[in-house]
Structure 1
Amino acid sequence: MRPAAVFTGLAGMAVVAGLLMAGEARLRSGTVGEDTTTAEAPEASAAAEIAPEKTAGRSAPISDADAEIIARAAQPAAPSPAPTERTAATPADPARPSEPPGGQAAGPAAKKPIELTRPVAENAGVLSFGERRLQLAGIIPTPADRICGPAGRQWPCGMMAKTALRQLLRNRSLTCDLDMAEWKGMATAACRLGTQDLGTWLAENGWAEAEASSPLDAVAEKAKQARKGIYGGDPRRK
């Protein structure tokens, strides 16, 4: 009986072992599905994290439209055209009067007092400043070669008038009313030595005649009546 009991015990142990192994297999088959589903998510996320690292070394491809937009944005802005004073498409304002070139208003330029140095009297009425010449306004210059007086008592009144003006000037600076400080040829202007108007001084002393309709006409007539200057006799005989 001992061998049969031993055999029966071994068989029971084998059955129990078989049942345990079958149960363990079932348990493993049920948890494998869950492990695979849960394991795939970390692998996918890890792949997503690894993908940018793998593509960081090279530029991602872009479409032609995106490339054109980027190229336009990189170009510098074209400079705006400079404004012109008047275009052909813009008609002139009929209410605005026409202006001369340079934007200055039309009309004669206003004269201004200008200081002139080292005047030289060419005669009683004309001054020279180097190559420039100036005639005093309001009078008729007395030529330096003019002769006055009756026959037998003539005298060089033109030279005397010139000498009188030179003695008054004595190379001092004048203030003359001119359009500009520089001019060419002959100019006509009123000049002053201090506050004394030179044209008035010549007319008052009879060293020059007044122009027609000149404000100095009355002054010159008074000097003529008093027989001053060129209207009188030779001052050297007095």
Structure 2
Amino acid sequence: MRRIVTFIAGAIGLLLWAYLVVQAGESFREDPVDYNIEDLDVPDPSELNLPEVGSADGGEIEPASRTETRRQVRAIEPDAFSSPAFSNTGDLERVAARAPLSEAVQSAKPKVVLLHRPLSLSAGVVAFGGEQRLRLADIIETPTERNCVASDGTSWPCGAMARTQQRLFLRNRSLACETSATAWQGEIRTRCWVGVQDVSSWLAKYGWAEAEPGSALIALTEEARLARRGLFGDPAH
């Protein structure tokens, strides 16, 4: 019974609150706001420091001219190309790029191949098989029949000794040579290495072959001559 009485009282309270809200809205809508002109603080135009809006002769006021400032763009190629924002793009034409001022020099890296079982024919010349010969660059071959004069004035077979020294240096090891292929016919002239040692430089340094005129190995031949090594000294025992 108490719950029913409480519910009825709450419902009556809600209805009363809604009625009061509706009545207040009708009151605000029907009563217009009444402004009193005397309450408004309107300044006197004569008291304001306003600029003159008319000219002396009563003519019309001309609008101020509008000055448009444009950013200057430097043309990349005079009379040929400029910024599309400030020039007519209808006549633009793509042209070929300018040729380089100098040609780039590209040196082709020589091909190095490994040649097996070299046979020393003489100091400065080796063979591979019966039909392939290789002459070492930058040095002059020392013929096997060459004889040299020792410090005591006697002659000794320095050419045969030079070939023997080349054989001992190679020791049947493979040669890395600048050539395009492992097979060729006849004789070629190129540079060869045993590991990282240039064979021509070794022969010139120890005096078993002389450097060609104008070769970079001339200094090594002169060094061997001053030290009396190889062909410029006494026979090795």
Give the TM-score range, shorter chain.
0.5 to 0.7
Equivalent residues in 2 for 1:1-238, closer than 5 Å: 111-130=110-129, 131-149=131-149, 153-236=154-237
Take 1:112 and 1:221, find their aligned partners in 2: how far apart are those partners? 31
* Paired residues of 1:109 and 1:179 also in contact (CA < 8 A): no
- Counterpart of 1:202, as a letter, is L
Number of matched residues? 130
CA deviation map 1:134-191 (0-9, x unaligned): 0011000100111111696110000000000101111111100013222111101110
Take 2:196 and 2:153, find their aligned partners in 1: how far apart are those partners? 40
SS at match of 1:176: strand
Greater Rg, structure 1 or structure 2?
1
TM-score by length of 1: 0.52
Take 1:223 and 1:118, find their aligned partners in 2: how far apart are those partners? 29
Take 2:234 and 2:117, find their aligned partners in 1: how far apart are those partners? 31
* Paired residues of 1:154 and 1:234 also in contact (CA < 8 A): no
CA RMSD of aligned residues (A): 2.0
The Cα of 1:121 is off from its aligned counterpart by 0.4
Take 1:147 and 1:135, find their aligned partners in 2: how far apart are those partners? 21
Take 1:138 and 1:210, find their aligned partners in 2: how far apart are those partners? 6
CA deviation map 1:43-101 (0-9, x unaligned): xxxxxxxxxxxxxxxxxxxxxxxxxxxxxxxxxxxxxxxxxxxxxxxxxxxxxxxxxxx
TM-score by length of 2: 0.52
The Cα of 1:110 is off from its aligned counterpart by 5.7
- Counterpart of 1:113, as a letter, is V
Structure 1 stretches of 5 or more lacking a match? 1-107
Structure 2 stretches of 5 or more lacking a match? 1-106
Displacement over 6 Å in runs of 4+: none
Take 2:176 and 2:236, find their aligned partners in 1: how far apart are those partners? 30
The Cα of 1:109 is off from its aligned counterpart by 7.9
Take 1:138 and 1:195, find their aligned partners in 2: how far apart are those partners? 17
SS at match of 1:233: coil
Identity of aligned residues (%): 47
